[in-house]
Structure 1
Amino acid sequence: MHLLAVVLTALVALLHFYFLVLEMFLWTKPLGRKVFKLTPEFAEASKVLAANQGLYNGFLAAGLLWGLVQGGQPVTLFFLGCVIVAGVYGAATVGRKILFVQALPAALAMVVLLLA
């Protein structure tokens, strides 16, 4: 069960690292525009905001990896909780899909970690 918790948490961290790359480096590129359904004009106008958003996703990924490597369960639970809150907020303000892409994997990892 512990191994499953580690794998799920690592997957959430990798997902947020992917968000960092999309938002900081690919926002105005074809892949970034496709993923987020952006027009070239909107992508260009919002790229600084997206980069900031990507940076925060990188902090979440780093915190989760820190929890797995050195911080232990309390640190990992804290950062999983942050991801869940961000996912719920994003689902409420941006789109429901965020609930399933961001919050659900983190909630699953948190439940498994608590049961481990």
Structure 2
Amino acid sequence: MQIAATIMACLVALEHFFILWLEMFNADSEMASQAFGVDRNLLGVPAVQTLLKNQGLYNGFLAVGIIFSLFVVPVAASAGVTMFFLACIIIAAIFGSVTASKSILVIQGLPALIAFILAYLA
């Protein structure tokens, strides 16, 4: 169970590193336009770029937190710290599904919830 929890948490971290890349370095692309359901012209507006870069940075911090919790934090505290970062993602996904797009709950929230449950059971 521990191996499954670690693998799933790593997948969640990878997803959030991808979101970091998309929001910080590729925010005005066609891929970002499709992912966010926003016109590409809007994504080119400097103020929108700034907001997306800020969001991307937060997603990066969540990803780094998960990796840190899995591979740096002492074993006795690792599961708790991992579950904390996963819970942050779950809460953000719930908020995002209410305020932005229902798909956020499935795309970001569901993998984090699965990883959280596996970490809890491990």
Do both share a fold (TM > 0.5)? yes
Instruction: Report 1:84-99 matches (<5 A).
Output: 84-99=90-105
Which residue identity is paired with 1:106?
Answer: A
- Give 1:44 shift: 1.2
Deviations 1:70-95 (A, max 9, x none): 22111111100100000000001111
Deviation digits for residues 53-108 of structure 1, max 9, x if unmatched?
Answer: 00000000000000110221111111001000000000011111000011111111
- Structure-2 separation of matches of 1:92 and 1:33: 20
TM-score w.r.t. the length of structure 1 is 0.95
Partner letter of residue 11 of structure 1?
Answer: L
- TM-score with structure 2 setting the length: 0.91
Residue in 2 aligned with 1:40? 40
Task: Tell me how far apart the structure 1 counterparts of residues 111 and 30 of structure 2 sit (CA, whole Å).
Answer: 26
% of aligned pairs identical?
40
Letter in 2 for 1:26: N
* 1:1-116 → structure 2 map (5 Å cutoff): 1-45=1-45, 46-71=48-73, 72-116=78-122
The whole-number CA distance in structure 1 between the counterparts of 2:13 and 2:105 is 16
Shift of 1:31: 2.0
One-letter identity of the residue aligned with 1:115: L
Please, what is the CA RMSD of the aligned residues? 0.9
Unaligned runs of 5+ in 1: none
How many residues are matched? 116
Structure 2 unpaired stretches of 5+:
none
